[in-house]
Amino acid sequence: MTNLEGVYGCPDWVSRAVVYQIFPDRFRRSGRVQHQQMLKLLPWGSEPSGQGMQGGDLYGVIDSLEYLQDFGINCIYLNPIFLSSANHRYHTIDYFNVDPILGGNKALEALIVNMHERGMRLILDGVFNHCGRGFWAFNDLLENGKSSAYRDWFYVYKWPLNPYPKKKKECGYYCWFNDPALPKFNHENSHVRNYLLSVATFWLEKGIDGWRLDVPNEIPIDFWVEFRSKVKGINPDAWILGEIWGDARPWLQSKIFDGVMNYSVGWSTLSWSAGNRLRTSYRNSSYPLKKLNSKTYSSILNNILSMYEADINKCQLNLLDSHDVPRALNTLNNDIKALKIALLIIFLLPGAPCIYYGTEDYMSGGRDPECRESLMWNSLDNQDLKKYLLSLKELRQYLNHLHHSLLVWKEFEKDCILGTLTQNDEALTSISEIQVFINRSRKKSISIPKRKCSPLFMLGSIEGDLQKIGPQSAVVLSLG
């Protein structure tokens, strides 16, 4: 692979970001999108399903920016927003037009302006592996068959094409996950490449701050080398984030991407925090929910962090859940204390913590599409978790050396882990140490050594002059 490290580094702002992922159709309906007035939308709060629109829009996101900033959010990652026939919008029809149901291009332009005025960043979802059946070039292929001018834009292996095949029948073209609704682009075609690269640069020039890239491992790497060069040439501070679920060293050590969606942190952190109450019914080899003891979890966490250089770790997106997996609270069997433990951990890691929309309101949907439920703005009851998330943001700001240093984790007791960081403060010519004790037990308190220290953060019950950590509690200590 081509090494681009000397060309463009990772954006510094990412390590200070607190990201909020929004599934646009289910986040907030503003009532200000004229196009929606001629449509029959599903009632807001309908049972989430793979079909039908509930009408969340980008003006609804604008209306929510102050709400998000109130608990520390300074970056938004939007699931796809371009014209599509699917509520998740991974079936792209036109990459240069924001879906009019979302408010169209003007709504995105207004969102960018409003976010930048507030010092916030915006990341879009780039679906460059495949498109929807309604994509204009594929539509031409369906209409004209072998005579289509776009026949080399896709991989056709059998004529005539059958875009709506019956069960066990072939569609005649390669598609993502064998889904005929998602024809795969031919990236060996220079015209396809140029088209997709022009999409990436067009929206960067409109002011977005980066791309989250859908299934990038299914696209030739040389495309991503060119993609990075184009993107960074326009905005060196743009964040290029790949959806790689496991070991991402081939993509990150060669600087193809700045960071990846760190699902390994997510499944392992939930698996440990939940203890015996972990819900394990979800099956995904890339997100293997399984009970972990403290020694194993510490080893997994240290291994994840040691796989990459510091410059890479600070550009990772550390998430617990997303639109593709059950919500964290579902996996934790609705244990809010366990959720707070898991959130504390991802806020202590280098990189950017990511909050999936509605987490702050205890949303607990299961596997897709249940994890894509509507946020009920008329009944929000989230002050406790909002305050907690803001306190995590403030802790993270105070421990700003975590942006380029690693806590080393180990088992302290059966249900307790200890994270330690030694930081050399040259200005004070002294060595300061940070220690983090996290007790996941629901019944047992944990005693810790007596020492001269001051608490930087406390969760739950801390007893006996910082000598005992109560059940499902944690403390961050500064030793000087």
428 contacts: CB under 8 Å, gap ≥ 6: none
Backbone angles phi, psi at 123, to 5 degrees: -115, 130
Write the DSSP assignment of 128-193 as a string of letters.
Answer: -SB--TTSHHHHHHHHHGGG-TTGGGB-B-SSS--SSPPTT---SB-BGGG-TTSBBB-TTSHHHH
SS3 assignment, position 462: strand
Please tell me the distance from the alpha carbon of residue 400 to that of residue 318, in angstroms, as a whole number. Answer: 17
Query: Following CA atoms 74, 16, 13, 299 in sequence, which dihedral angle do they give, to the nearest 10 degrees?
Result: -120
In Å, what is the CA distance from 5 to each residue of 201, 256, 317, 353?
Answer: 21, 9, 19, 24
In Å, what is the CA distance from 465 to each residue of 269, 395, 449?
Answer: 28, 21, 11
* HSE-CB of 134 using CA atoms within 13 angstroms: 12
The structure tokens listed for 98 are 């924001």
Q: Find tokens 């793979």 and name the residue.
A: 50
Q: Find tokens 């140490």 and name the residue.
A: 433
Q: Find tokens 């951990």 and name the residue.
A: 345
Neighbouring-strand partners of residue 446: 469
Sign of CA dihedral 110, 113, 118, 122: positive
**Bond from prior residue into 369 cis (ω within 30 degrees of 0):** yes
161 contacts: CB under 8 Å, gap ≥ 6: 141, 142, 145, 171, 172, 173
Whose CA is closest to 113, among 207, 33, 202, 32?
207
- Pick the catalytic residue: 25, 99, 209, 214? 214
**Exposed/middle/buried for 72, CB within 10 Å: 0-12, 13-18, 19+?**
buried
334 contacts: CB under 8 Å, gap ≥ 6: 362, 364
- Pick the catalytic residue: 243, 321, 335, 415? 243
Phi-psi region of 214 (alpha: psi -120 to 50; beta: other; left: phi over 0): beta
Annotation marks residue 243 as catalytic? yes
CB 403 within 8 A of CB 415: no
Q: Which long-range contacts (CB under 8 A, 24 or more apart) does 187-191 make?
A: 187/219, 187/220, 187/223, 188/220, 189/152, 189/153, 191/153
Buried/exposed code over 318-354 (b: 16+ C-beta within 10 A; e: otherwise): bbbbbbbbbbbbbbbeebebbbbbbbbbbbbbbbbbb
Active-site residue numbers?
Answer: 214, 243
